[in-house]
Copies of this chain bind each other. A is one copy, B any other.
Amino acid sequence: MARVTSFDVARRAGVSQPTVSRALRDLRGTSAATRARVRAAARELGYVPLQSGRVLSTRLSRRVGIVTGELSNPFYPGLLEPMIAALHQRGYLPVLIPDDDLDALNPEPLMDGSLDGVILTTAHRGSAVPGELARRGVPCVLVNRETGERNADVSVAANDEGARQAARFLVRLGHTRIGFIGGLAETTTSSLREAAFAGELRRLGRDLPSRLVAGGPYSLGHGRAGFARLMSGRPAPTAIFCANDILALGAMEEACHRRVAVPGEVSIIGFDDMPLSALTSVGLTTISVDLAEMGRAAVHLLLTRIARPGLPARREVHATWLTPRGTHAPPRPGS
């Protein structure tokens, strides 16, 4: 069961081996007749070119690495699906490199020549990987989170404006005791959202005291814990803005667990509008971003960078808007 090589096809078609290579790729400089004979021979033998041979010689793999958080966080499937579809459509296959934000990411697979480029979804302040990839000439795009440096291609949400929209919305509803549950402090999705949220509250004559701020890694569990902490202070907040939908979902879980009515006793607002949040049974009021667009933009940035490595770095910032669903209300009178 030895592998069928282009030599086998060549022998069968009565041509030389490079002719097989040319014919199957439809390069000009092969007659229609030979092309047909080669194709026939290849089909008969079930010939499939070996990818490693091709990559070794061309340095092109048509694979793109996607460094991603755990898929059990439904944000990632929501972001990845459009990227995968866009890549697939352009003839690229995604290689998933798991990164849990805790263990250091092993960058070797990103630089071993097996990928034409890399999309990072889990960057944060101080990430060494983007710089290292740049130094080695591996095309790289940051999506959703960035490092703070301004020298990479990024596709991100308007984190500051989104957070301000949340602040204005809650204040307009009449809330005064407003809390915040953040994510990992090193991520731009958490720090930018928190800073802009606090700033806008201040501008509107409210404040965000530290006893009403919780945070931790982005997970259901930390959403629960944050909610528990915030709600056990006295007086408790009447509204909570969460740095993303996962945290908001965790907060809702904990609210349900503690029999705190949402939005009766406390309003909860998320950020991202991942697909799950729109289910009627979830119905999370949130700051929306077009995640599909953000993902596709990242793919597009990467593919153009692969094609023209010299281009200056580009930033795509995606607009946000408030999507009111079922988890907000004015504060209960007298609370």
Interface residues of A (CB under 8 A from B): 1, 3, 46, 48-53, 55-56, 61, 63, 70-72, 74, 76-78, 80-81, 84-85, 88, 93-98, 108-109, 111-114, 136-137, 249, 252-253, 256-257, 275-276, 279-283
Contact = CB atoms under 8 A, between A and B. Distances in A.
Nearest to A79: B71
A253 B109 CA distance: 42
B77 A71 contact: yes
A2 to B, nearest CB: 10
B249 A279 contact: yes
B276 A252 contact: no
Nearest to A135: B46
Contact of A77 (B52, B72, B253): B72
Nearest to A111: B48
A107 to B, nearest CB: 9
13 contacts: A3-B113, A48-B108, A48-B113, A50-B56, A51-B112, A52-B52, A52-B113, A71-B71, A72-B275, A88-B98, A93-B97, A96-B96, A249-B281
A282 B280 CA distance: 9
Number of copies of this protein chain within its complex: 2
A256 B281 CA distance: 8
Contacts of A48: 108, 111-113
A109 B48 CA distance: 9
Given A72-B78, A77-B74, A85-B98, A256 B280 contact: yes
B114 A51 contact: yes
Q: Which 8 A-B pairs have the closest CB atoms?
A: A52-B55, A71-B77, A51-B114, A51-B112, A71-B81, A52-B56, A256-B280, A77-B77
Contacts of A94: 95-96
A224 to B, nearest CB: 11
Nearest to A250: B279
Interface of A is mostly: mixed
Given A50-B112, A257-B280, 10 more contacts: A51-B55, A71-B78, A71-B81, A72-B78, A84-B98, A88-B98, A249-B279, A253-B279, A276-B276, A279-B282
Contacts of A257: 280
Contacts of A280: 252-253, 256-257
A74 B281 contact: no
A114 B80 contact: no
Given A256-B280, A281-B281, A80 B85 contact: no
B52 A114 contact: yes
Indicate the member of A49, A51, A93 with the most B CB atoms within 10 Å. A51
A63 B109 CA distance: 11
Nearest to A278: B253
